[in-house]
Homo-oligomer: A and B are copies of this chain.
Amino acid sequence: METNIAGSEKHAKHVLCVGAAVLDTLFRVREMPHGEGKVLPYDMMQIAEGMASSAAYAVCRMGGRASLWAAVGDDETGRRILNDLSESGIDTSGVTIVEGAQSALSTILVDDKGERLIVPFYDHKLHRNKRDCTASDIAAFDAVLVDVRWPELAFDVLSVAREIGKPAILDGDVASVDTLEMLVPAASHVIFSEPAARLLAGAERVADMLPVLHLRYPETFIAVTAGAAGCHWIEPGDATLHFEHAMRINAIDTLAAGDIFHGTFALAVAEGMPSRAAIRLSSAAAALKCTIFGGRLGAPSRSEALRALQAWRKQA
């Protein structure tokens, strides 16, 4: 067996997730709108999520413990985000409530082909200041995972984690090149989305991006996820290109799939799981999520992910 099963709550590894917390309103529609008019949704759901928040949820679903550092406004949406995430098992005591800022919210339309239209609203006042981050703040965690939403804090968290020898994982999604160039060198592990890796590496094919990124960051674990097209990665100090296929699924809702991958991966790293096993488990968790409508709520438990992975590998 390549994977560890998380033990009791007491021995469960604890991951700090830093970044986005958003109230999403998901509408299911038959077809995407084109221009003005009216679209009647046949289903609706509201969920607190966002990159770091959904990743934290995946940590919980996989049997780990998750704490969230994010920022919300001092408003009803903010209170709702905090309630919803707490009820999902995430420790939100480290979330900053910013007076005079509006909480982030998004409307997302998902059509019957699984395509998405996203309208995200984000108040820059939310992340104008950052909270403190000392070694003793980070010492309690077994790994940290940051997204690109609150770059200044993400940089501090990654830096402090590395100083005290903890895995420091970056969800390398699309952001300004400046932000990515600040955060990538601070991380021990970077999981890039394909467009973000392309932005930074300047290459078209994933197989060409990774060697470029490895040359620039030779001591970093670097992966590039490409959804249904699988996941490529390079280990620190070794230019060998590794690859894992993604499970074939019928995608209903890909929202938060990447975040579920990142959360699962961060917990796996915190548990000391070997890279290939960690990538397989994360990839299976992300794939299963896509088969269920409802953003992060589709994240599977560890046993669900392991069972699906086993069934799929037997078939292949």
Contact = CB atoms under 8 A, between A and B. Distances in A.
Interface in A278-296: none
B36 A121 contact: no
Contacts of A116: 36
Given A80-B76, A121-B44, A107 B27 contact: yes
A283 B33 CA distance: 31
Contacts of A111: 36
A141 to B, nearest CB: 31
Interface in A106-121: 107, 109, 111, 115-121
Top-5 shortest CB links A-B: A36-B115, A44-B121, A107-B107, A38-B118, A34-B34
A195 to B, nearest CB: 12
Contacts of A1: none
Contact of A41 (B36, B41, B119): B119
Question: Is the interface on chain A under 10, 10 to 19, 20 to 34, or 35 or more residues?
Answer: 20 to 34
A117 B38 CA distance: 6
A105 B36 contact: no
Contact of A35 (B46, B76, B117): B117
Contacts of A27: 107, 119, 121
A37 interface: yes
B105 A44 contact: yes
A297 to B, nearest CB: 16
A82 to B, nearest CB: 12
A39 interface: yes
Q: How many subunits of this chain does the assembly comprise?
A: 2
Interface of A: 25, 27, 29, 32-41, 44, 46, 76-77, 80, 102, 105, 107, 109, 111, 115-121
Contacts of A35: 32, 34, 115, 117
B115 A109 contact: no
A27 B102 CA distance: 14
A37 B117 contact: yes
Nearest to A84: B76
26 contacts: A25-B25, A25-B105, A27-B107, A27-B119, A29-B119, A32-B33, A32-B35, A32-B36, A33-B33, A33-B117, A33-B119, A35-B117, A36-B111, A36-B115, A36-B116, A36-B117, A38-B120, A39-B119, A41-B120, A41-B121, A44-B102, A44-B105, A44-B121, A46-B77, A76-B80, A107-B119
A120 B115 CA distance: 19
Contacts of A38: 117-120
A38 B35 CA distance: 14
A80 B27 CA distance: 20
